C-alpha cells in the first residue's frame, strides 16, 4: 500500500474491509481482530496474489477495477481482502492480500494446488477478456520445479524417499490379492498406515506421512486398486524380500548375520565400524539381511562403493578415532599444499623459460605433480565424507550389534521378512 506506488493511496481498496484515507494500519488491525475473535493467530497469516498486465495495454483505474472484481468473485463471500494497484513499474500490476481466517465462520483458507488453474487463473482471464485485454495462452516454463516434478520425475539421479516408496508399492501390488492385503503387506514392510482421514497416507520408517493422492500416476489409492484388480490371474504372492526359500534357510541367514556382529562386538574402532557397516549394506543388496531394510538403509546401499572406499582408507591407515582422522586430514592437507606450492613455482619457471627442451621437462614435472594430486584429492573428499557421516554410521552399527547380541540370546520372530521391533 505504498503511497508512492499507488497514486497516494487512490489505487487501494478493501473487500469486506474499511480503509480510511491514508490509514494503512487500519486493514491490518481489522484482520488481526478477526483472528483474535476466533482465536486463530497461528499458522499462515495471509495469502498473496499478484496479477500483472501487459505494458501499455491498461490504465491504472481499469487494472484496479479488475483486481477488485477478481477479489470479490474469489473471496468476497467469506474473507477480508486488500487490493493495491502498483504503477511504479513498466507493467501495471495488482497485489491482492487475503486474510487467512474467515470473518464469517473463522475457518482458515485452504488452497489446493489445482485451485490456481481451476479458479484463479480462469477468473482472471475471463475478467481481462471482458475489458478487452490480452491473456497468456501458454505460460513460460518456470525454472522452479513443483512438488510432483521434484519427486516424481524419471529417472531419479539417486534414490529418494519417493523412489524407494514406489518400489515398495510395486512389490506390494504384485503380492497383494486386494487393497486390504496391500496395506497389510506394507505394514509388514515397516510402514505405518493412516486410512481414517479423508486422504489415505503411508509413512516409511523414520519419515512422516505421505498422502497417496499426491503420488504420481499409477500410485494413488485408486490406481493401486485398479492395478490389483487388473492382474489377470491371482497367483500365490511373490516373496517381497529375502534370498531364502523357506523358514529354515531364513534362520540360517539370520544366525550367520547375527553371529558376525556378535563375534565382533568389542571391535569399536572407526575402521572396524565401517567394515561392519559395509557388511550390512552388502547383506541388504544380496537380500541376506534378515529383516526388511528401512528406506534409509536402501538409500545407503546405492552408495555402497563409496562406503567401501572409505572403509579401505580407514583400514589401510589404521584410523580408529575421530582424532586420528583429523590428524590424517591435516597431514593430507599439508601434502596437498606442498605439491600445490611446488607446481606453482614450476609454472612460474615455465613462463620465464624460452628453451623448448627445458619447457618440455618442466611440463612433464607439472603433469607428474597433477597425477600425484588426484588420489590425494580423492582421499580428502573421502575423509570429509567420513567426518560428516561417521556419527550416523557408528549409531547404525551400534544398533546392529545390540540386535545381534539380543538375537544370540533368543531367536527373534518367525516372519520371513518382517521388520524388527525398535527398542
What is the pTM assigned to this prediction?
Answer: 0.53
Q: What is the pLDDT of residue 411?
A: 53
pLDDT digits (tens, 9 = 90+) for 92-138: 999 999 999 999 999 999 876 667 667 888 899 999 999 999 988 77
Is the pLDDT at 383 greater than 80? The verdict is yes
At 319, phi and psi to the nearest 5?
-90, 115
Distance CA 150, CA 416 (A): 35
Is the pLDDT at 40 greater than 60? The verdict is yes
pLDDT digits (tens, 9 = 90+) for 127-167: 999 999 998 877 655 544 555 555 555 555 567 888 889 98
Peptide bond into 144 cis (omega under 30): no
pLDDT digits (tens, 9 = 90+) for 200-257: 999 988 788 999 988 888 899 999 999 988 875 555 556 677 777 778 888 888 888 8
Given the DSSP bridges, would you call strands 46-52 and 93-99 parallel, antiparallel or unpaired? antiparallel
What b/e readout covers 344-370, taking b as 16+ CB neighbours within 10 angstroms? eebeeeeeebeeeeeeeebeeebeebe
**Which percentage of the chain shows pLDDT scores above 70?**
86
> Quick one: which of 408, 412, 401 has its CA closest to 264?
401
Distance CA 86, CA 106 (A): 30
122: CB partners within 8 A, 6+ apart: none
Q: What is the pLDDT of residue 416?
A: 43
Q: What is the pLDDT of residue 421?
A: 44
First to last CA, the chain: 56
Is the pLDDT at 423 greater than 60? The verdict is no
Look-up of cell digits 557421516: 389
Q: What is the pLDDT of residue 266?
A: 61
Is the pLDDT at 374 greater than 50? The verdict is yes
Mean pLDDT of the region 320-344: 94
More confident residue, 179 or 23: 179
Is the pLDDT at 80 greater than 90? The verdict is yes
Is the pLDDT at 419 greater than 70? The verdict is no
Mean pLDDT of the region 284-303: 85
Amino acid at each position: 500500500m505504498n503511497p508512492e506506488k499507488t497514486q497516494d493511496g487512490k489505487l487501494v481498496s478493501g473487500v469486506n474491509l474499511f480503509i480510511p484515507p491514508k490509514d494503512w494500519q487500519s486493514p491490518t488491525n481489522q484482520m488481526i481482530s478477526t483472528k483474535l475473535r476466533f482465536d486463530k493467530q497461528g499458522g499462515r497469516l495471509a495469502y498473496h496474489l499478484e496479477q500483472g498486465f501487459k505494458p501499455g495495454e491498461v490504465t491504472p483505474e481499469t487494472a484496479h477495477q479488475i483486481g477488485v472484481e477478481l477479489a470479490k468473485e474469489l473471496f468476497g463471500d467469506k474473507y477480508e481482502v486488500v487490493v493495491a494497484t502498483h504503477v511504479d513499474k513498466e507493467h501495471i500490476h495488482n497485489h491482492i492480500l487475503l486474510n487467512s481466517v474467515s470473518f464469517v465462520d473463522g475457518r482458515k483458507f485452504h488452497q489446493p494446488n489445482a485451485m490456481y488453474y481451476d479458479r484463479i487463473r480462469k477468473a482472471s482471464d475471463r475478467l481481462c477478456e471482458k475489458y478487452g485485454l490480452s491473456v497468456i495462452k501458454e505460460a513460460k516454463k518456470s525454472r522452479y520445479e513443483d512438488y510432483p516434478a521434484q519427486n516424481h520425475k524419471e529417472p531419479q539421479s539417486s534414490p529418494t524417499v519417493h523412489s524407494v516408496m514406489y518400489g515398495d508399492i510395486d512389490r506390494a501390488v504384485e503380492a497383494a490379492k486386494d487393497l486390504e492385503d496391500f496395506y497389510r503387506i506394507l505394514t509388514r514392510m515397516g510402514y505405518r498406515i493412516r486410512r481414517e482421514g479423508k486422504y489415505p497416507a503411508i509413512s516409511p520408517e523414520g519419515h512422516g506421512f505421505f498422502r497417496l493422492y499426491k503420488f504420481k500416476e499409477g500410485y494413488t489409492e485408486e490406481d493401486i486398486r485398479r492395478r490389483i484388480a487388473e492382474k489377470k490371474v491371482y497367483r500365490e504372492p511373490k516373496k517381497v524380500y529375502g534370498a531364502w526359500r523357506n523358514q529354515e534357510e531364513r534362520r540360517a541367514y539370520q544366525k550367520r548375520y547375527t553371529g558376525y556382529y556378535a563375534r565382533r562386538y568389542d571391535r569399536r574402532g572407526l575402521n572396524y565400524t565401517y567394515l561392519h557397516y559395509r557388511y550390512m549394506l552388502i547383506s541388504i543388496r544380496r537380500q541376506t539381511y534378515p529383516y526388511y531394510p528401512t528406506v534409509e538403509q536402501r538409500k545407503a546401499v546405492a552408495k555402497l562403493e563409496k562406503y567401501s572406499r572409505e572403509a579401505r582408507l580407514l583400514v589401510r591407515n589404521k584410523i580408529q578415532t575421530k582424532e586420528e582422522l583429523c590428524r590424517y586430514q591435516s597431514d593430507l592437507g599439508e601434502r596437498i599444499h606442498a605439491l600445490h606450492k611446488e607446481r606453482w613455482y614450476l609454472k612460474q619457471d615455465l613462463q620465464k623459460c624460452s628453451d623448448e627442451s627445458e619447457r618440455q621437462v618442466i611440463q612433464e614435472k607439472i603433469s607428474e605433480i597433477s597425477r600425484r594430486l588426484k588420489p590425494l584429492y580423492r582421499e580428502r573428499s573421502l575423509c570429509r565424507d567420513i567426518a560428516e557421516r561417521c556419527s550416523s554410521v557408528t549409531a547404525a552399527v551400534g544398533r546392529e550389534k545390540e540386535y545381534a547380541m539380543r538375537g544370540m540370546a533368543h531367536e527373534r520372530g518367525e516372519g520371513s521378512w518382517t521388520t524388527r521391533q525398535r527398542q
